[in-house]
Amino acid sequence: MENGESGIRNFGVKQIAYPVLLILFLLFLFSACKSHNDNPVSQSFSIRVYVSDTFDNGSLDNIPVTLECGGIVYDKVTRGGFTRIDLDNPANCTLKVNFSNQAGTQNSEYIPSVIENLTLTGGNDIRIDIVRKSYLNPEGYDWKHLIYAYRGSNRGGVNQVWTKQPSRWIVYDPNNKLKKYPDPKNNDVFNNIMKGFDAIQEYTNGFIRAPSRDEVEIKYEGPNGGIDGSVYFMITDGNAWAADYANSNNEIYKSGAGAGPGDDTDTLSELVSSVQGGDNEAPNIVSIMMGTGKISDYDRIWGEFNYYKREPGSRIVLNGQYGHLYELRLK
């Protein structure tokens, strides 16, 4: 009987031991997997940063490129128009182009650029163009005056432009100046306003198409803030002004201007000023915004730059956290 009882006891122990060992084995596997997941393998990848000239699109060599990601700084310089940067893990980064770094010295002919909050996850090609100082400012004017004229005096250098064709063109005439003419759309006053609309088209290099006379509405009232989607002009008793209205994406959705009925240069300059976020009171610039009565080379350059070469919301910064005179670009 003793041997029988011993055999029964041994059989019972084995029945208990096998499930316990299986549970312990499964716990070991779970622990190993959890440990592995808590310490993921590094995800190494490469990006390339291509740098070119804003206006001629030519690739630029020997341009310093700095990428700052999570406290790690990568200093590079372009060769063949680009540089390659190897990263260990996806990160939120700041890209600085044409700032002197340990790999190269700033090219003083070009304005540096910065892109903040770049999320890099691999397979990224970053293409950025930088602008030659002498192209934007061939006469060597004070940069503050240029930014004042073509970006505004109180907007911090931000680019605000129309991104689509205005849907309406309106002339407001609350003082009934046009009613004294047999044809309110065919007289010296209205002809001058049409020249102002044509100047807008010339300034924006055709981005905004000037209307025909038939497309222009006349309202014998005040604008009262104007109508969204419109470029409007108010015939005043003599005061001149310009206004533009932009959304949170720095896209202009309404432009307004006003001048006296006999004021040729103010009519043109205020209308052009109203579609580019600038101010026509800036000093020392040879420009239609300054009352010259015709589009200048500066107007053509900056009109193309603001409307075709830079996205709404990009900024030219005179003095900021990255130094003096640089561009803060968007993704």
In percent, the amount of the chain with pLDDT more than 70 equals: 86
> If we measure between CA atoms, which residue out of 201, 197, 240, 246 comes closest to residue 217?
197
Average pLDDT over every residue of 123-140: 93
Res. 73 pLDDT band, cuts 50 70 90: very high
Q: How confident is the prediction for the chain on average, in pLDDT? A: 88
Give the pLDDT of residue 176. 97
Res. 26 pLDDT band, cuts 50 70 90: low
Tell me the whole-structure pTM to 2 decimals: 0.84
Give the pLDDT of residue 34. 43
**CA 203 from centre of chain:** 19
Give the pLDDT of residue 228. 98
How far apart are the C-alpha atoms of 38 and 259, rounded to whole Å? 69
Contact in structure between 105 and 35 (CB atoms under 8 Å): no
> What is the β-pairing status of strands 251-259 and 241-246?
antiparallel
The per-residue pLDDT for range 93-127, each reduced to its tens digit, is 999 999 999 999 999 999 999 999 998 877 778 99
Give the pLDDT of residue 32. 47
Average pLDDT over every residue of 185-209: 96
The strand ranges marked E within the chain are 45-53, 64-69, 72-77, 82-87, 91-97, 113-120, 125-130, 161-162, 168-172, 216-219, 230-235, 241-246, 251-259, 315-320, 323-329
Whether 45 has a pLDDT exceeding 90, the answer reads no
Contact in structure between 323 and 99 (CB atoms under 8 Å): yes
Give the pLDDT of residue 288. 74
Instruction: Write b or e for each residue in 302-312: b if 16 or more Cβ atoms lie within 10 A of its Cβ, otherwise e.
Output: bbbbbbeebeb
Question: What is the DSSP secondary-structure string of 69-100?
Answer: ETTEEEEEE-BTTEEEEEESS-EEEEEEESS-
Per DSSP, 210 falls in state P
How far apart are the C-alpha atoms of 34 and 193, rounded to whole Å? 74
Give the pLDDT of residue 6. 47
